């Protein structure tokens, strides 16, 4: 297993280099220069050109890329133009907020989607199945920004139960459980919005896969032997459903991080998604490249995580 993990980690290196090349080229071919906002508008054109030359902006693209890549290997993702700080420190100050929101949304999605998908599959063509199916289609069809604005209108503006935006209440200092409750209250609406689409897709996948499993020969044999229906569903069918579910759930982690862009922007949640939006608006290219590379690394490691979980769940799975 250790040999397999080491081999997979080695395989990620050329993939990351390929992603870095694509990202770097796409950013560099954007019109204008990202350093103009840092300079005094009263500077002469000659002084601006001299400063760009010192920053290496006029170097060939290949030279710029290798300088950037060398800095990455040294743990330096560059300097944020907007925040006047290192990219790593800017991302580090926000990533925890996105992790809290994303994993809470994923947990909510799993707790709703898997039981509903199993119930829908075991009661196929019943009223319960139709209700779950309609809910799943609504979740897949409704745009997240519209759903977010709708929740704000109902629960924040009309009823006044929940805060409209932000992560904590401004103007007051809270500690301990009071602080945690305040963060949870601010997180509730964006968590629901972020979980909506993942819940719908995971529910549909669980339902369709469970229906196929319940039609297999070993399930028919268990029924013929008189095994209780509940045991067939939750000990035999659901256990075999776990492997494909692991794949789907782990693949949702990068999509949660990228999908947080719109949700965090709507609710002004201080996470990576909103940070990326601000970076694009302010043309903060070093920060954009740092965020994209971070999401790429997370995507690759979630693939590795899925393989490791396969071995834990099913001892028959082995890797050389």
Q: Would the pTM count as exceeding 0.75?
A: yes
The answer to the question of residue 319 being in a domain is no
Residues 69 and 97 in one domain: no
The answer to the question of residue 183 being in a domain is yes
Domain edge (last residue) among 43, 73, 103: 73
The answer to the question of residue 25 being in a domain is yes
Residues 246 and 126 in one domain: yes
- Angstrom CA distances, 51 to 35, 58, 239, 282, stand at 9, 10, 62, 20
Residues 52 and 156 in one domain: no
Count the Cβ atoms, other than its own, within 10 Å of residue 1: 11
d(CA 276, CA 145): 17
Residues 104 and 8 in one domain: no
The answer to the question of residue 276 being in a domain is yes
CATH code: domain of residue 109: 1.10.3720.10
Domain edge (last residue) among 40, 73, 106: 73
Query: Are the C-beta atoms of residues 218 and 63 closer than 8 Å to each other?
Result: no
Q: Domains in the chain: how many in total?
A: 2
Residues 235 and 166 in one domain: yes
pLDDT (tens digit, 9 = 90+) per residue, 154-170? Answer: 888 888 888 888 888 77
Residues 278 and 132 in one domain: yes
More confident residue, 43 or 128: 128
Q: What is the pLDDT of residue 72?
A: 79
Tokens for 197, please give them.
Answer: 């689409």
Q: If you average pLDDT over residues 137-166, what whole number do you get?
A: 84
Q: How confident is the model at residue 221 (pLDDT cuts 50, 70, 90)?
A: confident
Residues 254 and 196 in one domain: yes
Structural domain harbouring 170: 93-313
- 6 by Cβ neighbours in 10 Å (0-12 / 13-18 / 19+) ranks as exposed
Residues 270 and 187 in one domain: yes
The answer to the question of residue 295 being in a domain is yes
pLDDT (tens digit, 9 = 90+) per residue, 58-70? Answer: 677 788 788 888 8
Residues 11 and 60 in one domain: yes
Lowest mean pLDDT among 18-22, 186-190, 228-232, 316-320: 316-320
The answer to the question of residue 78 being in a domain is no
- Angstrom CA distances, 99 to 52, 271, 300, 301, 309, stand at 37, 8, 17, 15, 20
Residues 48 and 191 in one domain: no
| Count of all residues that appear for the chain in the document | 320
Residues 57 and 170 in one domain: no
Q: Is the pLDDT of residue 75 over 80?
A: no
Q: How large a percentage of the chain has pLDDT more than 70? A: 87
Query: Are the C-beta atoms of residues 285 and 34 closer than 8 Å to each other?
Result: yes
Query: Are the C-beta atoms of residues 297 and 20 closer than 8 Å to each other?
Result: no
The answer to the question of residue 209 being in a domain is yes
Domain edge (last residue) among 13, 38, 73: 73
The answer to the question of residue 145 being in a domain is yes
Tokens for 222, please give them.
Answer: 């268990």
């Amino acid at each position: 297993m250790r040999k397999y993990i080491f081999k997979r980690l080695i395989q990620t290196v050329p993939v990351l280099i390929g992603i870095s090349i694509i990202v770097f080229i796409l950013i560099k071919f954007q019109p204008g220069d990202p350093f103009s906002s840092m300079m005094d508008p009263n500077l002469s054109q000659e002084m601006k050109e001299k400063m760009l030359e010192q920053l290496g902006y006029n170097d060939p693209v290949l030279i710029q890329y290798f300088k950037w890549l060398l800095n990455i290997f040294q743990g330096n993702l560059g300097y944020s133009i907007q925040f006047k700080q290192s990219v790593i420190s800017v991302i580090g100050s926000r990533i925890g907020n996105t992790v809290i929101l994303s994993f809470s949304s994923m947990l909510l999605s799993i707790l709703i989607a898997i039981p509903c998908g199993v119930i829908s599959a075991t009661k196929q063509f019943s009223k319960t199945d139709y209700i779950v199916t309609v809910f799943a289609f609504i979740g897949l069809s409704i745009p997240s920004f519209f759903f977010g604005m709708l929740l704000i209108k109902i629960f924040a503006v009309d009823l006044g139960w929940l805060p409209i935006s932000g992560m904590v209440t401004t103007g007051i200092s809270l500690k301990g459980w009071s602080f945690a409750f305040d963060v949870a209250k601010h997180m509730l609406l964006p968590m629901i919005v972020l979980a909506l689409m993942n819940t719908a897709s995971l529910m549909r996948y669980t339902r369709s896969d469970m229906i196929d499993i319940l039609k297999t020969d070993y399930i028919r044999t268990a029924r013929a032997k008189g095994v209780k229906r509940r045991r067939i569903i939750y000990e035999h069918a659901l256990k075999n459903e776990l492997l494909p579910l692991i794949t789907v759930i782990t693949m949702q982690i990068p999509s949660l991080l990228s999908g947080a862009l719109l949700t965090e922007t709507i609710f002004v949640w201080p996470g990576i998604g909103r940070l990326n939006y601000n970076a694009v608006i302010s043309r903060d290219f070093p920060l954009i490249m740092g965020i994209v590379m971070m999401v790429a690394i997370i995507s690759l490691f979630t693939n590795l995580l899925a393989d490791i979980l396969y071995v834990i769940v099913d001892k028959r799975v082995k890797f050389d």
